[in-house]
Amino acid sequence: MSLTSGTQDVILDGRSLRRERNRLAIVQALLGLYEEGWIEVSASLIVQRAGLSERSLFRYFDDVDDLYQTACDTHFEKMSRYGTIVEFAKGSLVDKVEHLVDQRLRIFKATRNTAIVARIHAHKIAPVKEQLQRGRELLREQTRTHFHTELQKMSHSHRLAVIAALDVLASFESLELLRYDQGLSHDETKSVLTFSILKLFMQERQ
């Protein structure tokens, strides 16, 4: 007895849903391990966490790059949810600086462990490197737009210097040094970054 077109569609839809569900389970397992602080993660550990068989891993992904690309996209989407700056490009200079610092601290808290792993693997996994570069570029452009009014009042050379320094001060690496190398609290880190960024904008006024 042959299957009707409708029955075949149901079977295919079921397979597609199962495939997407298992792909997501693998990606979430990988990201979950990273968030727990794992650096080197084996295929067996990933599928064990996902509740799947080891040989099923590359049934759902073309290769390792495909897995990492999907994981990067998922992580980047998560990061973007924390990427909104309150009152974007509005308010006084002090308001803008405080809002930027609050945003970067939110992103840092939400993504720190995965971001560390991404930076460790970026040199050997192209999708990870590309995603990090894209994230940095988006945050850099966001910062330039947020402070557009203040930056336009500066000379060209001073504006370039401030933009470069802003990028460093508000970076993941800067937050990592302040929070975990120097051992500053969240509030202390916020205070240091706010003070430092305000100083950048005040230099030309003196």
Residues 6-40 have pLDDT tens digits of: 555 544 466 778 888 899 999 999 999 988 888 78
Is residue 206 within 8 Å of 175, Cβ to Cβ?
no
Name the architecture of domain 5-61. Answer: Orthogonal Bundle (1.10)
Is the pLDDT at 112 greater than 60? The verdict is yes
Of the candidates 98, 113, 170, 110, the residue with the CA atom closest to the CA atom of residue 139: 170
CA distances for 32 relative to 21, 98, 110, 124, 136, angstroms: 16, 31, 12, 21, 23
Q: Which residue has the higher pLDDT, 177 or 119?
A: 177
Is the pLDDT at 205 greater than 70? The verdict is no
Is residue 127 within 8 Å of 68, Cβ to Cβ?
yes
| Percent over 70 (pLDDT), the chain | 91
Distance from C-alpha of 64 to C-alpha of 125, rounded to nearest angstrom: 9
Is residue 167 within 8 Å of 140, Cβ to Cβ?
yes
Q: Where residue 183 falls among pLDDT bands split at 50, 70, 90?
A: very high
Q: Residue 68, CB half-sphere, CA atoms under 13 Å: how many?
A: 22
Structure tokens at 179: 């929070």
According to the model, what pLDDT value does residue 6 have? Answer: 56
Q: Where residue 206 falls among pLDDT bands split at 50, 70, 90?
A: very low
- The pLDDT mean for the chain works out to 86
Buried b (16+ CB within 10 A) or exposed e, 46-82: bbebbebeeeebeebbeeeeebbbbbbebbbeebeee
Domain boundaries, the chain: 5-61, 76-205
Of the candidates 73, 79, 69, the residue with the CA atom closest to the CA atom of residue 139: 79
**What average pLDDT does this structure show over 117-132?**
84
CA distances for 8 relative to 5, 11, 15, 19, angstroms: 5, 5, 11, 16
User: What are the two backbone dihedrals, phi and then psi, of residue 55, each rounded to the nearest 5 degrees?
Assistant: -70, -10
According to the model, what pLDDT value does residue 11 have? Answer: 47
According to the model, what pLDDT value does residue 64 have? Answer: 77
For the entire predicted model, the pTM comes to: 0.79
Residues 44-99 have pLDDT tens digits of: 899 899 998 888 788 888 887 788 878 878 887 877 777 888 889 999 999 999 99
| Percent over 90 (pLDDT), the chain | 46
According to the model, what pLDDT value does residue 10 have? Answer: 47
Distance from C-alpha of 104 to C-alpha of 169, rounded to nearest angstrom: 10
DSSP-assigned states of every residue in 21-56: HHHHHHHHHHHHHHHTT-SS--HHHHHHHHTS-GGG
